[in-house]
Amino acid sequence: MARKFAELRAKMSPEARERSAAWAKAELAKMPLYQLRNAREMTQTRLAEVLEMDQGNISKLEKRTDMYLSTLRSYVEAMGGVLEIRAVFPDGEVKIDLLNKLSA
Protein backbone atom coordinates (compact mmCIF):
# COMPACT_ATOMS: atom_id res chain seq x y z
CA MET A 1 0.00 0.00 0.00
CA ALA A 2 1.30 3.44 -0.91
CA ARG A 3 2.02 5.83 1.91
CA LYS A 4 1.93 9.59 1.90
CA PHE A 5 5.28 11.35 2.02
CA ALA A 6 4.06 13.49 4.93
CA GLU A 7 3.59 10.32 7.00
CA LEU A 8 7.08 9.08 6.17
CA ARG A 9 8.61 12.49 6.81
CA ALA A 10 6.91 12.70 10.22
CA LYS A 11 8.73 9.52 11.25
CA MET A 12 12.14 10.87 10.20
CA SER A 13 14.52 12.30 12.76
CA PRO A 14 15.10 16.07 12.63
CA GLU A 15 18.60 15.39 11.31
CA ALA A 16 17.27 13.16 8.53
CA ARG A 17 14.65 15.77 7.58
CA GLU A 18 17.38 18.43 7.46
CA ARG A 19 19.61 16.23 5.27
CA SER A 20 16.68 15.47 2.98
CA ALA A 21 15.78 19.16 2.62
CA ALA A 22 19.42 20.07 1.91
CA TRP A 23 19.67 17.32 -0.73
CA ALA A 24 16.44 18.46 -2.42
CA LYS A 25 17.60 22.08 -2.44
CA ALA A 26 20.97 21.10 -3.94
CA GLU A 27 19.28 19.00 -6.64
CA LEU A 28 16.92 21.85 -7.55
CA ALA A 29 19.88 24.22 -7.71
CA LYS A 30 21.55 22.21 -10.47
CA MET A 31 18.49 21.50 -12.57
CA PRO A 32 18.78 21.53 -16.38
CA LEU A 33 16.52 24.02 -18.17
CA TYR A 34 13.94 21.46 -19.31
CA GLN A 35 13.59 20.11 -15.76
CA LEU A 36 13.25 23.64 -14.41
CA ARG A 37 10.47 24.27 -16.96
CA ASN A 38 8.77 21.01 -15.99
CA ALA A 39 9.07 21.85 -12.28
CA ARG A 40 7.36 25.17 -13.04
CA GLU A 41 4.60 23.13 -14.77
CA MET A 42 5.10 24.89 -18.09
CA THR A 43 5.10 23.23 -21.49
CA GLN A 44 7.49 24.09 -24.30
CA THR A 45 4.47 25.28 -26.28
CA ARG A 46 3.34 27.68 -23.55
CA LEU A 47 6.88 28.99 -23.02
CA ALA A 48 7.20 29.51 -26.78
CA GLU A 49 3.98 31.56 -26.75
CA VAL A 50 5.27 33.77 -23.93
CA LEU A 51 8.61 34.27 -25.68
CA GLU A 52 6.93 34.68 -29.07
CA MET A 53 8.95 31.95 -30.78
CA ASP A 54 8.40 28.46 -32.17
CA GLN A 55 8.22 25.47 -29.84
CA GLY A 56 11.11 23.90 -31.77
CA ASN A 57 13.32 26.83 -30.81
CA ILE A 58 12.54 26.20 -27.13
CA SER A 59 13.58 22.57 -27.59
CA LYS A 60 16.87 23.64 -29.18
CA LEU A 61 17.48 26.27 -26.51
CA GLU A 62 17.03 23.71 -23.72
CA LYS A 63 19.69 21.46 -25.28
CA ARG A 64 22.30 24.20 -25.71
CA THR A 65 25.33 24.27 -23.47
CA ASP A 66 26.27 27.82 -24.44
CA MET A 67 23.95 30.80 -24.88
CA TYR A 68 23.71 34.53 -24.40
CA LEU A 69 22.85 35.70 -20.90
CA SER A 70 20.01 37.76 -22.37
CA THR A 71 18.50 34.57 -23.85
CA LEU A 72 18.76 32.73 -20.54
CA ARG A 73 17.33 35.75 -18.71
CA SER A 74 14.32 35.86 -21.08
CA TYR A 75 13.77 32.11 -20.60
CA VAL A 76 13.78 32.42 -16.80
CA GLU A 77 11.63 35.56 -16.77
CA ALA A 78 9.06 33.89 -19.04
CA MET A 79 8.55 31.37 -16.23
CA GLY A 80 8.15 34.12 -13.65
CA GLY A 81 11.68 34.04 -12.28
CA VAL A 82 14.64 36.38 -12.07
CA LEU A 83 18.09 35.39 -13.31
CA GLU A 84 20.92 36.23 -10.92
CA ILE A 85 24.60 35.55 -11.40
CA ARG A 86 27.00 35.30 -8.49
CA ALA A 87 30.64 34.54 -7.97
CA VAL A 88 31.28 32.15 -5.09
CA PHE A 89 34.60 32.22 -3.22
CA PRO A 90 35.78 30.35 -0.11
CA ASP A 91 35.32 33.52 1.95
CA GLY A 92 31.96 34.62 0.53
CA GLU A 93 29.98 35.39 -2.57
CA VAL A 94 29.32 38.41 -4.74
CA LYS A 95 26.24 39.05 -6.85
CA ILE A 96 27.30 40.18 -10.31
CA ASP A 97 25.05 43.03 -11.41
CA LEU A 98 25.73 42.67 -15.14
CA LEU A 99 22.15 41.78 -16.05
CA ASN A 100 20.76 45.18 -15.07
CA LYS A 101 23.01 46.68 -17.72
CA LEU A 102 21.54 44.32 -20.33
CA SER A 103 18.04 45.72 -19.94
CA ALA A 104 19.14 49.36 -20.15
Q: Write out the H or E segment, with its range, that includes residue 69.
A: helix 69-78
What is the distance between the alpha carbons of residues 87 and 76, in angstroms, rounded to a whole number?
19
Residues 8, 45 within the same domain: no
Residues 57, 71 within the same domain: yes
* Boundaries of domain holding 23: 1-30
Residues 40, 90 within the same domain: yes
Residues 41, 78 within the same domain: yes
Residues 18, 41 within the same domain: no
Residues 25, 47 within the same domain: no
Residues 39, 84 within the same domain: yes
- What number of H helices and E strands is found in the chain? 7, 2
Task: Please list the pLDDT of the chain residue by residue as tens digits (104 residues).
Answer: 677 878 888 888 989 889 988 888 777 677 889 998 998 999 999 999 999 999 999 999 999 888 998 899 999 999 999 998 888 899 999 988 876 665 54
**CATH number for the domain that contains residue 98:** 1.10.260
